[in-house]
Amino acid sequence: MPSLQPYSTFGLAASCDSIQSFTDVASFLSIFNTQNNKTNNATYILGGGSNSIFTDDFDGTILVNEIKGISHFDTESHHYLRVGAGENWHDFVTLCMKEEWYGFENLALIPGSVGACPIQNIGAYGVEVNSLIEKVECVFLETGEQVLLSNEDCQFGYRDSVFKHALANKVLITHVNFKLPKQYELEVSYGELAALTEPTPEKVYSKVIEIRKSKLPNPSELGNAGSFFKNPVVSNAVYQAIAQEYESVPHFVVSDNAGNEQEQIKIPAAWLIDQAGFKGKTLNKVRCHPTQPLVLTNLGGATGSDVITMAKNIIASVQDKFGIQLEPEVRLLGNKGLISL
């Protein structure tokens, strides 16, 4: 049974029945239909493996998305890009910076593939990718029908999309189409970006990389899956209750997609986890990272049980201390597929 360890940045020891890659829709459908016709054979589609943690041996076939290709055209007002789902996200962002196709600079150095970005609606430093996505190309697994979903069809939310709900496990994302306005305002209101003098896209890009490298462990050196938990969004009443006890609680007012402020507040999960006493804490071979407690790391030889136990302990402690239920941002897989904590 082939090892899954090289296919997940968290690097747990796990295996599966088989691993097959595909480079276009036709090869995917051929492989998928063949595997799907086998009795009791589960399948799971994998991109860069930076957001999937295999907590057990997987009883089925892993299908690795390697659909590549980047095309571009522009108008007087916008750049338009069509990108294969198997392209590496950071490599793509770096290419855009080189070509002066700006807009992605806040999203530099996020691990994973382009195809994963709409599923998670990835975001960092005040920018979410849904603001730049025009359309997403998909294939329905059951019928092989190819469809084009508009931004509205994708039902984007905070670290959320239709691909986690109505279309979960029902489609393969093949390409993402981006629309970048040539005239836009840089987002530099978050954290250390606010200290930039005369900010440019290049300065933001470089600063984001510098910040992420200083705070986040390199998956090639220390197994991790990036942010393990979502930053919770709570009511203003919940925030006010916490602020009465913790005057310095970091927070951000949440706006809807139209830019209208809502009576909801985002509180960094890292702060909650730190206050609950988990920053730097180790359970067997799983550690809550000492410079960014939102990240759990594999110190070498961690097991799926270790990861699940640590995550459950953090969730229970934050719930007990603040009355806030943390939700995983990562996708956890057991022997039959996705599992929940």
Q: Pick the more confident residue, 256 or 221.
A: 221
* Residue at 186: amino acid letter: L
pLDDT in tens, 21-60: 999 999 999 999 998 888 778 899 999 999 999 999 999 9
pLDDT band at 165 (very low <50, low <70, confident <90, very high): very high
pLDDT in tens, 259-286: 555 579 999 999 999 999 999 999 999 9
> Looking at the domain assignment, is residue 196 inside a domain?
no
**308 Cβ contact list (under 8 Å, min separation 6):** 55, 332, 341
Residue 84 near residue 93, CB atoms below 8 Å: no
Sheet containing 282-283: give its strands across: 223-227, 295-298, 286-288, 282-283
Q: How many domains does the chain have?
A: 3
Residue 192 near residue 211, CB atoms below 8 Å: yes
The pLDDT of residue 262 is 59
- Give Cα 150 to chain centroid, integer Å: 20
Same domain for 127 and 47, yes or no, is: no
User: Which residues are known catalytic residues?
Assistant: 159, 227, 329
pTM: 0.91
Domain that holds residue 61: 5-65
Is pLDDT of 256 > 90? Answer: no
Angle at 146 (CA atoms; ends 144, 148), nearest 5 degrees: 155
Among 127, 160, 181, the domain boundary falls at: 181
- Out of 59-73, 97-111, 244-258, 307-321, pick the least confident: 244-258
> Looking at the domain assignment, is residue 192 inside a domain?
no
* Residue at 222: amino acid letter: L
- The whole-angstrom separation of Cα 292 and Cα 273 is 10
